[in-house]
Amino acid sequence: MAKLKKVPADCTFPQLAVVLDETRFMASLQAGLGPAFDGSTIRGIKVQRIYYKPGRSCRLTFEAKIRTASGAKSAQFYYGKIVPEPKPASLFRRAQHAHLVPPRFGPPVALLADLGMVVWAYPNDPNLPGLALLADRDAVKATVESDPAAFGLQVGGTLEELRSGVGKYVPGQRCGYRYRGIWRTPEGDHTVQFYGKAYQPGFGRGAQDIMVQLMATEACRSSRLRIPRPYAFDAAADVVWQEMLPGESFAKEASALDLEAWAGPVASALAAFHASRLDLGPGLGLTQELEELAASSAKIERAYPQFAARIASLRQRLQAAVPSLPPVPAGPVHGSFKISHVFDVGGQAAFIDFDGAGIGDPTYDVGRFLAHLAVAGLNSKAEADTIAAAVERFRTAYRAGVPWGWPAARVHWYTAALLLSSQAYKCVKRMAPERVGAILSAAEAWFPAA
């Protein structure tokens, strides 16, 4: 995310000015943690991510550098949530009654009254009961050893030298962990690696069911579509265990990504998914995007009124064009298809995070991916002709893989709409107004005025 420098003038949580001032934030955190901090002192704070929703809440993750009473140096990771008054006190009371895991330092949850913020010491998260399991290597070891067959391992072995690391943590929503270890059997040792993902209560089962169903499709059996193989599901913790793909997300190297070379394979795999027959719940499409477009546009205009006229003009053109868009049949929709959800697995494009998959408008995924491609081009300063060539390769490969071909007007509509409703709106949540103009220009290029 863009490095935060200052709080917007109309910020609905002005206390964020303290959060962005390390000295003041350290003092507030030290006071809030109180005597339970056992004589340790906070020597520094690094804010990692801020998720700002004007008027509703602000979630943030940060690491506190700690000097213990004995003089040793350490650190503690935190999840903080700011809510409007008088909610912080009631949120804190509820948090105290939840199941909490003792952290390395201080209390598992604390109220910073002066900031209207409740903070949870990792691995505590009020909405992710399985996070403590993922962070406990002994508990993970016991889970695998209790049912090795579910993980594709030989019965009778033990899991040794287990290492773990956080893949991605979105506070209050989801968290994934990577694991590597040795599966030791009488016949010998084998390197194993797998992935665990914690969900909000009630959401893990659906995610597991989608992956199991996908693995049974002809697209996956024929290797035209590569996804992580699902292993086991822990219903009590809402944790899904699955294969850890032996590759890296393209987002890690977005600036060096050969867009032209990969656009075709990615499009072919996406087409294989869209052409599959799946029994899923409702997915995203025009109705949902129109609602999101209206809501997000209003929030961007309020946060950054200097862009209001351009946003209103683009939104009106998009709304007026809906009746004339070419139709496409309903089909599987990933729902969050973007560059960071595409992996290079030995030269093959693989996809992850089908949690929001459903039956809807397949071209939603196409527009979402092209919107991310446009932003990746802005981030990496890729030449315009490189982006254009990548889009053309994507179009050619996708059109060849689905019965409905390439409904250009519909694809262009979704690309522009999602650049506005998703990419530009992220600038509000991340307080990065300097990016809005370039993203709007990209959206206007995809859907220009007549």
Across 13-17, 273-277, 299-303, which has the greatest mean pLDDT? 273-277
Separation of CA 296 from chain center: 18
Closest to 253 in 3D by CA, of 438, 379, 394: 379
Q: Is 20 helix (H, G, I), strand (E, B) or coil?
A: coil
Q: What is the pLDDT of residue 429?
A: 85
Give me the mean pLDDT over the 81-107 stretch.
92
For the entire predicted model, the pTM comes to 0.89
Q: What pLDDT does residue 2 have? A: 40
Structure tokens at 393: 């390769």
Q: Calculate what percentage of the chain has a pLDDT beyond 70.
A: 96
- State the CB neighbour count (10 A cutoff) for residue 23: 10
pLDDT band at 222 (very low <50, low <70, confident <90, very high): very high
What is the per-residue pLDDT across 27-71, written as a single tens digit (0 to 9) for each? 999 999 887 777 889 999 999 988 888 888 999 999 999 998 888
| Residues of the chain above pLDDT 90, percent | 78
Tokens representing 3 are 């490095």
pLDDT computed for residue 381 by the predictor: 57
Which residues, including other chains, have CB under 8 Å from residue 178's CB and lie 6 or more apart? Answer: 164, 165, 166, 167, 193, 195, 244
Determine the angle formed by the axes of helices 436-446 and 408-418, rounding to 10 degrees: 170
| Model pLDDT, residue 286 | 97
pLDDT surpasses 70 at 3: no
Report the mean per-residue pLDDT for the chain: 92
Mean pLDDT over 377-404 rounds to: 87
Residue pair 318/293 in contact by the 8 Å Cβ criterion: yes
For residue range 140-181, list pLDDT tens digits in order: 999 999 999 999 999 999 999 999 999 989 998 999 999 999
